[in-house]
C-alpha cells in the first residue's frame, strides 16, 4: 500500500494524530502534514477506493507550472536499488518524491528508468533479488575415476548450482545423474547455502521435468514433493531459452574451464570400505 494512502486512512478512518500517523508510517510529522494538506487542496475526500495508486499520486502531486525543471532521479542509484529484495519502482519513486515534492510523476519516473536501461544496453538484463532464485544443472563435461575394488573406470557427473544475484556457486560430483543424486544435490546445496531460495530453476532434464512445456511443464513427482517439503517453487527454464538460467550456464562454463579442464590429466582412485 502506498504511504500516502495509508496516511489518509489513518487520519480519516482511525482518527490518529500527526505524530501517531508518522510513527505508524515511519515518516516525519512534516511529511504527514504535507500529504494531508495536498489531499485537502486537491479536494480528495475519504474513502478513496475509487482512485488507483497512480490516480491518487497524480492528484497529490500535479505537474508544476514553474519554469525550473524538477530534479532528475539518480538512475544509477535506482538501478542498483532495484537489485535488492522487495524493492519496486513505486517505492523508489515515493522515496524520490519525499526528497523532491515537485519532482517528476510516477509514469515519467518509469519512462526514465526504461530509457536508462535501453541507453545502457540493459534492456535484456534480468534483475535478480538476493536469495530469491537458485539455478541448477548438470555440467556437460565429466571426470573419470578408477574404482580400486574392481579396476573399472567410472564417470563422475558434476552438479552445479548458483545464486544468480551474487554468482555464488555450489559444485558436487556424483556417480550418476539419476533422481536420487539429483535430489540429494539440491539438499546438499540448500545446506551449503544455509537457506532455501523462493524459486529453484532447473533445466528440462528428465529428473526434473516429465513433460516440457512453455506454459505448463509437468514436474517429476518426487522432485515436486521435495520442493514442497523445502517450500521452494520449481520453475523450469523454457525449452530453447538458455537466458532463463544464464547465471548457471555461465557458471557451468567457469567450472568446466577452471576446475574440470585442469583435472583431465589427473588420475583419481576411489576405494569403498564396507563396515
Adjacent-strand bridge partners of 199: 133, 233
Nearest CA among 65, 89, 94, 123 for reference residue 5? 94
pTM: 0.49
Task: State the Cα–Cα distance between residues 78 and 136, nearest whole angstrom.
Answer: 29
CATH superfamily, region 133-270: Ribonuclease H-like superfamily/Ribonuclease H (3.30.420.10)
**Tens of pLDDT, residue by residue, the chain (275 residues):** 468 888 888 888 888 888 888 888 888 888 888 888 888 888 888 888 888 888 888 888 877 655 567 788 998 888 888 877 667 888 899 889 888 888 888 889 999 888 888 777 654 445 666 778 888 888 878 888 887 777 788 888 989 888 887 788 899 989 898 999 999 999 999 999 999 988 888 887 777 787 665 556 677 888 889 989 999 888 887 665 555 555 656 777 667 666 666 666 666 666 555 44
What are the grid coordinates assigned to 87, written together?
A: 524493492
How does DSSP assign 140-186, residue by residue? EEEEEEEETTTTEEEEEEEEEEEETTTTEEEEEEES--SHHHHHHHH
Q: Give alpha helix (H) positions in the chain.
A: 3-12, 18-25, 29-41, 53-60, 75-81, 89-99, 106-119, 179-193, 221-230, 246-255
Domain boundaries, the chain: 1-60, 63-125, 133-270
Task: State the Cα–Cα distance between residues 29 and 7, nearest whole angstrom.
Answer: 11
Task: State the Cα–Cα distance between residues 13 and 217, nearest whole angstrom.
Answer: 47
Task: State the Cα–Cα distance between residues 127 and 129, nearest whole angstrom.
Answer: 7
Write the CA distances from 115 to 91, 92, 123, integer angstroms.
19, 16, 9
Q: What is the DSSP letter of 201?
A: E
Amino acid at each position: 500500500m502506498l504511504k500516502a494512502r495509508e496516511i489518509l486512512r489513518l487520519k480519516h478512518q482511525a482518527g490518529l494524530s500527526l505524530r501517531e500517523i508518522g510513527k505508524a508510517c515511519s515518516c516525519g510529522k512534516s511529511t504527514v502534514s504535507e500529504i494531508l494538506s495536498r489531499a485537502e487542496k486537491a479536494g480528495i475526500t475519504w474513502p478513496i477506493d475509487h482512485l488507483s495508486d497512480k490516480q491518487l499520486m497524480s492528484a497529490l502531486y500535479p505537474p508544476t507550472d514553474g519554469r525550473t525543471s524538477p530534479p532528475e532521479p539518480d538512475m544509477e542509484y535506482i538501478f542498483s536499488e532495484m537489485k535488492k529484495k522487495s524493492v519496486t519502482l513505486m517505492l523508489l519513486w515515493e522515496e524520490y518524491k519525499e526528497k523532491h515534492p515537485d519532482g517528476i510523476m510516477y509514469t515519467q519516473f518509469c519512462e526514465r528508468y526504461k530509457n536508462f536501461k535501453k541507453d545502457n544496453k540493459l534492456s535484456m538484463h534480468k534483475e535478480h533479488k538476493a536469495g530469491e532464485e537458485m539455478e541448477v544443472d548438470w555440467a556437460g563435461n565429466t571426470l573419470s575415476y578408477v574404482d580400486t575394488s574392481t579396476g573399472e573406470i567410472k564417470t563422475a557427473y558434476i552438479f552445479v548450482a548458483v545464486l544468480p544475484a551474487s554468482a555464488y556457486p555450489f559444485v558436487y560430483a556424483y556417480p550418476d545423474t539419476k533422481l536420487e543424486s539429483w535430489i540429494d544435490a539440491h539438499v546438499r546445496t540448500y545446506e551449503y547455502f544455509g537457506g532455501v531460495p523462493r524459486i529453484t530453476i532447473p533445466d528440462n532434464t528428465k529428473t526434473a521435468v516429465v513433460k516440457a512445456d512453455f506454459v505448463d511443464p509437468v514436474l517429476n513427482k518426487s522432485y515436486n514433493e521435495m520442493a514442497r517439503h523445502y517450500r521452494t517453487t520449481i520453475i523450469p527454464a523454457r525449452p530453447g531459452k538458455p537466458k532463463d538460467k544464464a547465471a548457471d550456464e555461465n557458471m557451468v562454463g567457469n567450472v568446466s574451464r577452471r576446475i574440470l579442464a585442469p583435472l583431465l590429466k589427473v588420475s583419481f582412485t576411489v576405494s569403498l570400505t564396507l563396515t
